[in-house]
Structure formats: structure tokens, C-alpha cells
Amino acid sequence: MSERGIRFRRTILFQGEPGAYSEEAALALFPGSETVGHTTFTRVFDELCESERAVAVLPVENSLAGIVQEVNDLLWERRGLRVGTEHVHPIRHCLLAAAEGPVHRAISHPQALAQCRRHLEAKGIEPVPFHDTAGAARHLSENSEPGLAAIASAAAAERYGLRVLAAGIQDDPSNRTRFLVVSQGIPERPRTAQDGWKASLAFLAAHRPGSLVAALTALSSRGVNLMRLDSRPLRDRPFEYLFYLDFVIDDPDRAEAALVELEEQAAEVRLFGSYPTEE
């Protein structure tokens, strides 16, 4: 590998065990990269803040379960980070086995087991809870026993050398998670004229009538389209709210002007970044 190649090689951080859906998403974005899993989101953010070379692939929203509050809160709290890309990843649960033969029991996280309930019932497979999906796959690879399977990602199958008996066994085929790619840097302002870009930010609005509307008017008066808006009460400041917001960048000049006015209207604004929309 050339010096240039080494220089730009980066470590991709994710939360979870090797083979977690977050790692699968990370490898879909950065094929062949070195990935490092941490047990908590806080530790991933700690690593990000310490290393200029680190990149994290973090879930912010799931189509079934909703917002991943902790990641959104950490994006607000930590400084000097930027969102550079989004990736919408389908969550395709797979039935994995270490050996041949019929399956009688499947280990996985209770949420994954519940999402595959119809498949398991139809096949007469008993669901057995485990800490997480990828951990179940690893356990199976280390402790093979007849009739035992795991429910986890295809990435977990590859990582632990398991056979995929069935893929996409979740009851609801629309299950997908939106990931953001976060690294150190200055968030890009909405200056890209390409189709399908959006900006993500959060702002703090005081608890007084009209303050939120004044902030949103800054966007709407310039034709800015909201894609997402979520409020979050501040734990230590009663009656004050954070608003997380994504908007589409149709016209970069108007989007920039809207952002400048929002910065004037709101108590505090933090732009996370501008990036191409995947969905």
C-alpha cells in the first residue's frame, strides 16, 4: 500500500459486537475497512473526539422503533464533529447455523426474536433470548450444539463462519435503519447545488410563545422543506427544548440565508452537516 493509501486509511467505529447491524452498515459504506466496535455510544463519541482519523457509523432512526435518542443527544453535546454522509440500511434478519440438521431453538436479542415471530412460529423454532444479535452468532460459533441457530445479520454469518439458512425472515420487510457517518471536522454549510442534499441540525428554543414558530419561519419564508422535526426536553432546564431538524437543500443560497436567520432567532444552533440524501 502506498504512503498515501496508509495516510488516508481510517478506522471505522460502531456501537456493538463484531457482526452487529451497525458494522454491516459500516462495511456497506466503507468496504474492506478496519472496523472497531464499542459497547456504548458514549465510548464511540469519546474515541471520535480523541482521534482525527476515526470515523463512526451511527444509527439515528429506525423505521419501526423510532429515534435513537442517545445518538442524537450525543451529537448535540459533543463539539468539533461533523456529519458527512447518511446511509439507510435494510435490517434483514438471517437464521444462522453452525452445522447441518433441523433447527429447534434460535438465540438472539428479544427485539429481533419478536420481529421474526411469525417465521419462528411457522417453523416451530423456540425463541431464546440473548444479549444482542451479533453476540448470539458468536456464541453459536463457539458453542455449537445440535438444533441451535442464531438470528443475526449476514455480516455476522460471514464474520463467525456460520451458514445462512434463511435471509430476510423478519415479519415486516420495511424494517430499516438510518445511519450517519460522523467524524471530526467543521460541518459543511448548505452550499451544494446538487439534487437531493439535506442538512441536519439542532437548535435550542426558549419556552416562550412564538419562539419555535419564529425559528421555523426563518426556514419556511425561504422555501426550505423540513424532512424531520423532533423536540426533546432538556433534562436540567425545565421548559426548554431542543429541536432536531433535517431539511432539504433545494437552493443553496436560500438555505444558507435561512440558516443564518435561524441562528439569529434561536437561542443556540448547531449544524451537524450537509450531505447527499439517500432516501
Q: Which residues bind a copy of itself (CB under 8 A)?
A: 63-70, 109-110, 113, 127, 129-132, 174, 207-210, 212-213, 216-217, 219-221, 223-231, 233, 235, 241, 243
Residue 75: enclosing H or E segment and its boundaries? helix 69-77
Cell of 242: 431542543
Give the shortest CB-255-to-a copy of itself separation in angstroms.
12
Which residue lies nearer to a copy of itself by CB, 226 or 260?
226
From 41, 45, 179, 243, the catalytic residue: 179
Give the shortest CB-7-to-a copy of itself separation in angstroms.
37
Which residue lies nearer to a copy of itself by CB, 55 or 106?
106
- DSSP characters for 82-137? EEEEEEEEE---EEEESSSS---EEEE-HHHHHHTHHHHHHHTPEEEE-S-HHHHH
Can you say how many angstroms the Cα of residue 42 is from the centroid of all Cα atoms in its chain?
Answer: 14
Give the shortest CB-233-to-a copy of itself separation in angstroms.
8
Give the shortest CB-13-to-a copy of itself separation in angstroms.
19
Give catalytic status of residue 179 as yes or no: yes
Residue 272: enclosing H or E segment and its boundaries? strand 268-276
**Distance in angstroms (rounded) separating the CA atoms of residues 180 and 109:** 23
Residues 203 and 270: beta-carbon distance below 8 Å: yes
Which residue lies nearer to a copy of itself by CB, 160 or 244?
244
- DSSP characters for 54-67? EEEEEEEEETTTEE
Which residue lies nearer to a copy of itself by CB, 41 or 275?
41
| Residue 179 bridge partners (DSSP) | 59, 87
Cell of 127: 425463541
Give the shortest CB-5-to-a copy of itself separation in angstroms.
38
Residues 105 and 148: beta-carbon distance below 8 Å: yes
Which residue lies nearer to a copy of itself by CB, 32 or 66?
66
Give catalytic status of residue 177 as yes or no: yes
Buried b (16+ CB within 10 A) or exposed e, 239-272: eebbbbbbbbbbebebbbbbbebbbebbeebbbb
Which residue lies nearer to a copy of itself by CB, 7 or 208?
208
Residue 8's Cβ-side half-sphere holds a number of Cα atoms within 13 Å equal to 5
DSSP-derived letter for residue 173 is T
Give the shortest CB-11-to-a copy of itself separation in angstroms.
24
Task: Catalogue the active-site residues.
Answer: 177, 179
